[in-house]
Amino acid sequence: MSDTGLVWIREDFRIENNAALSYATQNHQNVIAFFIYNNNDYDNKREAQKWWLSKSLENFKKDLLNYQINLQIIKGDELDIFSKIKKNDNVSIYWNKIYEPDVIAKGKKIRDIFIKNKINFKYFKGNILNEFQEVTKNDKTPFKVFTPFWRTAEKIYLSLPPSKNYIVKKKSKIKSFFKSSISSNDILPKKNWHKKFEKYWNVSENDSKKILKNLIENKIKNYGTSRDIPSIEGTSKLSPYIKFGQIHVGTIWKKCNEIKSKGIGYRKYINELGWREFSHSLINYFPEFLKGNFRKEFDKFPWVKNEKFLKAWKNGMTGYPIVDAGMRELYETGWMHNRIRMVVGSFLVKHLRINWTEGEKHFRNCLLDFNKANNVAQWQWVAGCGADAAPYFRIFNPILQGEKFDKEGLYVKRWVPELNKVPSKFIHKPWEMELKYQETINTLIGKDYPKPIVIHEEARASALNAFQSLKKN
């Protein structure tokens, strides 16, 4: 075996539970970690994630230096970079898997290059509980419904032997392999809007552990109800850390299962890990799922193209406070509360009848926790065109959703400050305030805050009619 092990870092910015990194340090005298930044993966697609990625690289580099391991950032295409590594370089290459069809396809080409150039390589299970091909029906066909999928997946995972203790050994020297590299700052978005994120997030493996500890000790007991209240810190907010691999889902599972008294909160949270597993299974068994409607009858759905409405939705200026609060939270923090994601999604595809792909694209660009499988699955769920989706006729009423989950309007007032003086009675329907009262509190609807761009009852009726026309076709 070669003296030098190269560890290809992708979505695994962690020391703990990192199989590839552990194996390399156990078997090689010298270890060098590297990340390949490919413009095509991020530019004009995932602008918000450039910030998280930059911070991940910056902080993980510091963590690795404690083990005398260098982290090099290489800019370019993976196939071009790997084709230049030859046998006489005397290196072995290791990585953890990513479960996306295009990544898997590229991985096969990379393995072919290594085989051709006689480069030793090895890859390991990625940030997932079960390999997607392990969870199938008795007849070996994939699941299309979540509940039986997750029931089976849990049984399989529980039957697996205990996970290995992946120890990372400290090396004696810090070394480099690649001749040229870039700084983590070179990855940052050109727009300054991302600088706001620093007020809300600390990006490191250690921070993910703190958040998990807080979840287990303080949040999970009441998670079943608190997760729906956007004005409180009721959700875990671990999703961006999972996406970039600051923490492994196996670690989360283990800590959750150490809880002695497992109530409804535990069950609800574990099910969300299950939904992530289910989403990855869907995109791998049905890769067309990533490109269009899972339910092909929706290919004929009469979507509406309305740039004015789409812009109002993106900017949080629809006139529906709970929707606008969510969209502004997204732009300000790079994250949106889970309940509100459903509300704003439903509003786009049903009140405005704009194709869900427009929402998916916007979320992809703005979410720090963007995950290809989850994002597409969630949008198709809301639109009614996905596997195990909510029926299209289930249309969230943004007024009632606000009154139920943000009764006093605390969430709305945080993100839509122009409504701060509006009493809770009207906070989710400010247009119902008398003009005289609007003048008294200096909050004119139509001037200081927009009037609703659509009327709920009319939009609902229009959406249902559109759905009925689809059924006739």
| CATH code of the domain containing 265 | 1.25.40.80
Read off the pLDDT band of 233 (50, 70, 90).
Answer: very high
Domain residues for 156?
Answer: 127-163+205-285
Read off the pLDDT band of 160 (50, 70, 90).
Answer: confident
Q: Are 351 and 456 in contact (CB under 8 A)?
A: yes
Residue 473: what pLDDT? Answer: 60
Q: Which residue has the higher pLDDT, 120 or 388?
A: 120
User: Are 71 and 150 found together in one domain?
Assistant: no
Distance CA 114, CA 39 (A): 23
Q: Are 342 and 396 in contact (CB under 8 A)?
A: yes
Read off the pLDDT band of 1 (50, 70, 90).
Answer: low
| CATH code of the domain containing 383 | 1.10.579.10
Give the alpha-carbon dihedral of 129, 356, 454, 302, to 10 degrees: -140
User: Which candidate, 129, 100, 11, 152, places its Cα nearest to that of 282?
Assistant: 100
In a domain, 431, yes or no: yes
Question: Which two tokens mark 210?
Answer: 């703190």
Read off the pLDDT band of 128 (50, 70, 90).
Answer: very high
User: Are 15 and 109 found together in one domain?
Assistant: yes
The dihedral through the CA atoms of 181, 183, 186, 189 has a sign that is: positive
User: Are 466 and 318 found together in one domain?
Assistant: yes
User: Which candidate, 427, 465, 471, 472, places its Cα nearest to that of 449?
Assistant: 427
User: Are 109 and 141 found together in one domain?
Assistant: no
* % of the chain at pLDDT higher than 70: 99
Give the domain-ending residue among 243, 259, 285.
Answer: 285
In one-letter notation, the amino acid at residue 304 is V
Q: Are 300 and 469 in contact (CB under 8 A)?
A: no
Give, for 339, the enclosing helix (H) or strand (E): helix 338-346
Q: Are 113 and 82 in contact (CB under 8 A)?
A: yes
| pLDDT at residue 25 is higher than 70 | yes
Q: Are 235 and 338 in contact (CB under 8 A)?
A: yes
User: Are 359 and 395 found together in one domain?
Assistant: yes
Read off the pLDDT band of 191 (50, 70, 90).
Answer: confident
In a domain, 119, yes or no: yes
Tally the domains of the chain. 3
Mean pLDDT over 93-117 rounds to 97
Q: Are 129 and 249 in contact (CB under 8 A)?
A: yes
User: Are 327 and 434 found together in one domain?
Assistant: yes
Buried-exposed string 358-385: b where 16+ CB fall within 10 A, e elsewhere: bbbebbbbbbbbbbbbbbbbbbbbbbbb
In a domain, 174, yes or no: no
| pLDDT at residue 325 is higher than 80 | yes
Length of the chain: 473
